[in-house]
Chains A and B, each alone.
Chain A
Amino acid sequence: MAVELWIDDGNPWYLSPDIWTVPSDDPNDPPGVPYANVSAYVWARVHNRGTSPVTNATVRFYWSNPASAINDSTAVLIGLSNVSLAAGETKPVLCVTPWIPQWVNNGHECLIAEAFAPTDPLPARSAATPYNVPAWRQMAQKNLTIGYAMQKMAFFVHPFLAGNFGQREKVELRARRAPLDLLRPLLPGLGLTTLPHEAEGVERFGVQPYRCGDPLLERQRPEMTLTLPPRHQQGVALVVRLPEKFPPEGGALFLVEQIEGDQVTGGVGVLILAETAQKAPPAADSPVQTRTRKV
């Protein structure tokens, strides 16, 4: 193929290291995690792995409510940029339109970037077509929430949306604790230099149907099957039982994935850190303080 644009997936694919944010008024500032209602800039690393240059590629940047499945009707365009790439070249591309993370769905959002050109168009899709990120080389997603285990907090709850963009009547969700080492490629984009230690005592977790204010289930299960008609979404939550004292240098990474057949069609990453690891948002433009940061 003459022009072959890529934005690389991560491992798992919904934790792309090729998307990152700068929580500042200056996009050249160091990367970090954004804060709700505080302006941030989104970047994407775009590769041309083809044999021909491209002078007029477009990069679109989206945010979405945290959801295990996303399509054009649920993704919100932040802005678009242009990029010129020689064959084999890689460039970071800035979304010049600032992104102001909103306090929706408890402040959790995910980011998506896609690159295309007249000589390398995107796969055809409709507004209802779920983004097939692992199959579409031009698109990547970063769906990672960083939350904090506050003092006296017994449960950490991360709500999100499960969506059924397929034809089946049921949606299967699976949660698992994953090694923190998966985040190593993402460290620069998170503004971190080292990984936390694996926190002990964070073994009880599960997913459940959830709306704000719903009671938490007594017994959490890491797997859940939802009966959900096609094109519908439902609120669910990852619920993690926290130890009495979360280790100050510790962390725990959880992945919640939506499964269709043997395919992972969507996923959400949640990193829980100690309250002491929380950084204050930039002072000048921070009308709202949040306890959750999302990249």
Chain B
Amino acid sequence: MPTPVAIQIPYRPYAVCLPTNLMTPDGFFIVNMGLQFIEVQITNASNTLLKNVRVYIEGISDPGVVYGSGVQTVGDVPAGASFPVRFLGNFHDATPGTAMISLIVEADGFTFRRVLKKLFITRVDYHKPTRTYSVVMPQGTMRIVIHRAIVGPESERCKEDRGGFIALIKDVSYEWVPTPPYEGVRGPFPYEDPWWKIALAILAALLLLGALLYDYFSDGDLDGGMVSVSGTFEETDPSVSCCTSVSSSATDTGDWVARGLYAAAGAAATAAIASDGPDLHYRGQAATPPGQGEKTLSEKVRLHIEYPEAPSPGRKFPIAGKWQYTRTTNAKVYTYEAADERENLHWLESYEVDAPAVHDRLSGPLVIRARFKKPDGTYYTGGSLYVSAVLVSTYGVARRFDLKDHGMAFDAKANDGWYSGGYTFKVGNPEMAATHASAERYDRPGYWYLFVFAQDVNTVLQGTSPFDAAHTIGGFVLTSQLELSFEKPCQLRHDAVIQVV
């Protein structure tokens, strides 16, 4: 009698942003972004090859999420391999909170297996008169005010017709109003995670949206009213000096490569001081136990961030913060202050990219591979990383694809630390390449610049206690192509140049 196919989905599904092909901070699905990919890593938990693996979404509990039906055919999956599957979803009408997704996995010779996972969904609104961002969740409302930020670049190569989009937060406060007020040291957790982690995700989402939507946020009702990010801070410092030294040949038309990395920089910096490690909010709560019978009406954190070095993503940069936690109860106000010095935890010892110097379009797909060494000297393997690549032409076209360590297709062996992927150049009619429409159907010969991005994934297992879960955050860019600077032009470095003939 057939048994259910032996697969596991150990980690939660994550969102992948369409324009950048990068994972969103901590994998959160962001209502404001509308369309995004739902990606999930599935592991063959058996010791045999699974043949003709197929996956589809049975359903999503939030009827506001619109997703594509149909079956994704994965193929044969080696024993122990982890493979990603992605579906396009529209979250424009989703409700912030958690939703359940049911995935059906099938393979020849086995009965199907149903796996239920949680999707974490957030939404950012902006109240223009008070310059307050907010997100409403079942457990309460969070309000965030960015008092001071570094914004840039506002001119130079990066879109002179638009305002700045990179935002490194320097002074921020967030306030949580629990519904209803609670007794004791800690209240219920939105998303079943501590909410300061959610604050981080929201801040990161702001930064991401600022970059991706190019400085526009919802004004609260998603009715088309939008607010420019350049006017959403109380004060701004001089811009990060960026872009002027970026190779002008390695620029995609939409500037998505750089914009995705700027968003990653802001998220990583905020995470480094606010949430990674023993976080400030938890300590603030512990240091301000309310009296018996008192009910906490609100909690507020004000955080001042100092950047001893420019916080380039994927680097071990230091960061310092001074913060004050304030608990307001129905009886009195409690405060606790502290200062922290931290380092970014999301970086690599090194990484290697194998790519040919010359590629003939008629010889088949371009295949590249890469591996990523952790600070402890070991390599990331399998589903512990989300790896994507982008090829940028000299004429502004970008081609994106993923690299996987699953022993299938372009990848020789599962879990060996080498992530492989490929791209088949489109060889069409060169005469048609001049038109915009045909640019999508034809790839010109010439030099193409390769970027390979690795992002860590949230490896929290379902059922992990919220406090423990809060100390594992994923979605941060580990590779170091973008070097920010306060004093000299930033650098955006490609990983390889390929002459395509």
Contact = CB atoms under 8 A, between A and B. Distances in A.
Contact of B69 (A56, A79, A93, A95): A56
Interface stretch (B54-62, B257-265, B317-325, B474-482): B54-62
Interface string B49-79: 0000010111111110000011100000000
B70 A96 contact: no
Q: How large is the interface on A (under 10, 10 to 19, 20 to 34, 35 or more residues)?
A: 10 to 19
Contacts of B100: 96
Interface in A1-31: 27-28
Given A58-B69, A96-B102, A79 B61 contact: yes
Contact of A82 (B54, B62, B63, B69): B69
B56 A55 contact: yes
B448 interface: no
B59 A84 contact: no
Interface residues of B, number: 20
Contact of A96 (B54, B60, B106, B112): B60
Contacts of B70: 55-56, 82
Most buried by B among A27, A84, A97: A84
A82 B60 CA distance: 10
Contacts of B104: 83-84
Contact of B112 (A27, A55, A80, A91): A91
A81 B59 contact: yes
A50 B256 CA distance: 48
Given A79-B61, A82-B57, 17 more contacts: A28-B116, A79-B63, A80-B59, A81-B102, A82-B59, A82-B69, A84-B106, A91-B112, A94-B59, A94-B102, A96-B59, A96-B61, A96-B100, A96-B101, A97-B59, A97-B62, A97-B63
A34 interface: no
Interface string A54-80: 011010000000000000000000011
30 contacts: A55-B71, A56-B69, A56-B71, A79-B63, A80-B59, A81-B102, A82-B56, A82-B58, A82-B59, A83-B58, A83-B104, A84-B54, A84-B56, A84-B71, A84-B104, A84-B106, A91-B112, A94-B58, A94-B59, A94-B102, A96-B58, A96-B59, A96-B101, A96-B102, A96-B116, A97-B59, A97-B61, A97-B62, A97-B63, A98-B61
Nearest to B111: A91
A118 B285 CA distance: 55
Contacts, number: 49
Name which of B70, B100, B106 has the most chain A CB atoms within 10 A of its CB. Answer: B100
A97 B60 CA distance: 7
B147 to A, nearest CB: 41
B114 interface: yes
Contacts of A56: 69-71
Nearest to A95: B59
B188 to A, nearest CB: 14
Nearest to B100: A96
A83 B70 CA distance: 8
Nearest to A83: B58
Residue in B54, B102, B106 with the greatest tally of chain A CB atoms within 10 Å: B102
Interface in B327-370: none
Residue with the highest number of chain B CB atoms closer than 10 Å, among A58, A81, A96: A96
Contacts of A95: 59
Nearest to A54: B71
A27 B116 contact: yes
Contacts of A58: 69
Nearest to A92: B114
B500 to A, nearest CB: 36
Contacts of A80: 59
Contacts of A93: 58
Nearest to A93: B58
Interface in B87-114: 100-102, 104, 106, 112, 114
A81 B54 CA distance: 17
B462 to A, nearest CB: 12
* Most chain A CB within a 10 A radius of its CB, from B54, B59, B101, B114: B59
A96 B104 CA distance: 12
A20 to B, nearest CB: 15
A56 B56 CA distance: 9
Contacts of B69: 56, 58, 82
